[in-house]
Amino acid sequence: MKNIKAVSLLFTSILLLIILCQSVKLTQTEINSLNQSNALNDSESILIGDYLYDWHNYSFEGEGTEERPFIIKDLNITSEDNTPFLGGYSGNPQYGIRIANTDKYFKIENCFINVYGPAVRLINVSSCIGINKIISSNSDYNRINLEGVSNLAITNNSVGVSGINCSSIYISETTMDSTDGITFKNSHAISITKCQITGCYRGMSITDSNSVIIDNNTISSCTIRGISMRKVSNSIISENVFKENGHESIGELFFGGGIVLAEASHCVIYSNSFIDNYIFEESQCYDSKNNETYWYNEQLKMGNYWNDLKKNVDEYQIAGPSNSKDIYPLRKPHYRDASFTNFTFLQIIVPLTLLTFFIIRRSKNKEL
With beta carbons less than 8 A apart as the criterion, state whether 134 and 158 touch: yes
End-to-end CA distance of the chain: 12
16 class by beta-carbon count within 10 Å (0-12 exposed, 13-18 middle, 19+ buried): exposed
pLDDT of the chain, 368 residues: tens digit per residue:
545 554 454 444 444 334 333 333 334 454 455 444 458 899 988 999 876 678 988 999 999 999 999 999 999 998 766 555 444 444 444 789 999 999 999 999 999 998 888 899 999 999 999 999 998 877 667 899 999 999 999 999 999 999 999 999 999 999 987 778 999 999 999 999 999 999 998 899 999 999 999 999 999 999 888 999 999 999 999 999 999 998 765 544 556 689 999 999 999 999 999 999 988 888 999 999 878 899 999 999 999 999 999 988 999 999 999 999 999 999 998 765 443 333 333 444 444 444 444 445 555 555 55
Domain ranges of the chain: 1-25+340-368, 36-178, 179-338
At 39 the pLDDT is: 80
Cβ atoms within 10 Å of 113's Cβ, excluding its own:
29
**Residue 242: C-alpha distances to residues 67, 268, 287, 327 (Å):** 41, 16, 16, 19
At residue 208, the 3 state secondary structure works out as strand
**Exposure string for 86-111, b = 16+ CB within 10 A, e = fewer:** eeeeebebbbbbbbbebebbbbbbbb
Total residue count of the chain as it appears in this document: 368
358 class by beta-carbon count within 10 Å (0-12 exposed, 13-18 middle, 19+ buried): exposed
Cα-flanking dihedrals φ and ψ of residue 360, to 5°? -65, -45
At 201 the pLDDT is: 87
Torsion of CA 60, 66, 67, 72, to 10 degrees: 20
With beta carbons less than 8 A apart as the criterion, state whether 78 and 55 touch: no
**Residue 355: C-alpha distances to residues 1, 7, 15, 361 (Å):** 16, 9, 14, 10
With beta carbons less than 8 A apart as the criterion, state whether 285 and 260 touch: yes
Could you tell me how far CA 30 lies from the centroid of its own chain?
18
Could you tell me how far CA 355 lies from the centroid of its own chain?
42
241 class by beta-carbon count within 10 Å (0-12 exposed, 13-18 middle, 19+ buried): buried
With beta carbons less than 8 A apart as the criterion, state whether 169 and 163 touch: yes
At 115 the pLDDT is: 86
Q: What is the 3-state composition of the chain as percent helix, strand, coil, each rounded to the nearest 5?
A: 15, 40, 45
Largest CA distance in the chain: 93
At 141 the pLDDT is: 73
Element (H, E) at 347: helix 342-367
Of 136, 140, 242, the residue nearest 196 (C-alpha): 242
Could you tell me how far CA 334 lies from the centroid of its own chain?
18
At 95 the pLDDT is: 86
Q: CA 290, CA 294: separation in Å to the nearest integer?
A: 8
84 DSSP 8-state letter: P
At 53 the pLDDT is: 79
Element (H, E) at 154: strand 150-155
At 242 the pLDDT is: 96
